Amino acid sequence: MRRSTVKKHQGFSLPEILISVFIIGLISVIASSGMAMNGSIFNATYNQTQNINNQGITKAFMLWSKSDSTLGTLPTPYTGGSYYSSIVNTGSAATVDVDLMTYIQQQGIGLTEANDDNFASHRIRVFQKVSGLTKQMPLYVLSGPLVTLTYDFGVVYQTACRLTDSSCNTSSVHGSSATLTSSNYTSWTTSGTDFGAAYVSTLPLHEAMLNVTIYRLQTIRSKLLDAFNIQKLGVAPGDTTDWFVAPNGTGATNLSGASATTNQGCYDGWYSLNSGTVNVLSQLGLGQSEYGVTAWGGVIQYCRDYDPTYAGVLVQPHYAALRINQSVSTAASPDTSIIGNNVFITF
């Protein structure tokens, strides 16, 4: 009887082991590179999203700054709870906050994403601003007396600072970037893990409002000159009557008799064109609520008998003038005591 033999298993051969190790290593490389790629894609998407949100928030700020109650300013950075320099109090019912939240949502940004990234870690979004910056420029952009525009500058950026992280969640500014100041705002940039800075300035808004103010001043001047020339038609040579428009009707203000030397060159006194008892603009066919003030709401005043020499005596021919505060963007009325604080348009 033939005896069967059983071949014993001797394990993997060296080539088999090498091939197995190679395959396992290849799979590991592919898996790790895939994980790295997924992480890289996530980070890129996250960064892009935050950059877009930051830019959208600065657009919302500019829309907010155009409203009558906040004209030409940026919001105050939100400080509340664990936030010290973020965007807005989403629980507020104040009109300025509600308006800002509305503008933020109009940019496609949810309110849960306003102050942080809305992830489980709640990495904080920061808003810093500097107020009281000034720029002097000619009234007519290229020429004319200088006016001063006062504006705000701000920056919105994303940090890696978690809302519950006390090491970066300080009582000044979240994250690792420096505090924005009037000294460094022109060169300020994010640092460390902060990123996505979106800058915003109200200076362009003020410059546009200055153009509106110039238009109003030039329109009033042109209308006053037209009315003056119409009144002089047929007048005998040598007539010394002041034909510039004066308030009339019941209750009309009479400012005659002032001294040009002590009243900034005005013989008949300065009429505030937004006053209910000064109907000069209505005689010219202009609306008082629009043309009686600058674009910021500062009073425009009118002198119907202006003395350009400040000699204190009535001169011929008659001159007129308009007066506004030199710091035009502050909406202040003309300064009655310091002549250098005002801008004059004479004709």
What are the sequence ranges of the domains in the chain?
A: 28-201, 208-233+242-346
pLDDT band for position 29 (50/70/90)? low
200 dihedral zone (left: phi>0; alpha: psi -120 to 50; beta): beta
Distance CA 72, CA 70 (A): 6
| pLDDT at residue 17, as a whole number | 63
Average pLDDT, the chain: 88
The total number of residues shown for the chain amounts to 347
Residue 221 · residue 213 · CB < 8 Å: no
What lies within 8 Å, CB to CB, of 20 at 6+ separation is 12
Give the CA-trace dihedral at 241, 242, 248, 253, to 10 degrees: -120
How do strand 146-162 and strand 271-272 relate by DSSP bridges?
unpaired
Residue 307 · residue 319 · CB < 8 Å: yes
Rg (CA), the chain: 35
pLDDT band for position 40 (50/70/90)? confident
Mean pLDDT of 158-178: 85
What tens digit of pLDDT does each residue of 134-150 get? 999 999 877 889 999 99
DSSP alpha helices (H): ranges in 107-236? Answer: 203-231
| pLDDT at residue 5, as a whole number | 53
Q: For residue 210, give the nearest of 288, 325, 289 by alpha carbon.
A: 325
Decide: pTM greater than 0.85: no
Distance CA 138, CA 339 (A): 17
| pLDDT at residue 28, as a whole number | 64
Distance CA 73, CA 129 (A): 10
| Range among 8-17, 19-28, 252-261 with highest mean pLDDT value | 252-261
pLDDT band for position 338 (50/70/90)? very high
Largest CA distance in the chain: 157
What tens digit of pLDDT does each residue of 68-99 get? 777 899 999 999 888 989 999 999 999 999 99
Mean pLDDT of 243-256: 87
Determine the 3-state secondary structure of 12 from DSSP: coil
Give the CA-trace dihedral at 43, 184, 200, 79, to 10 degrees: 80
Task: Please give the structure tokens belonging to residue 281.
Answer: 């603009």
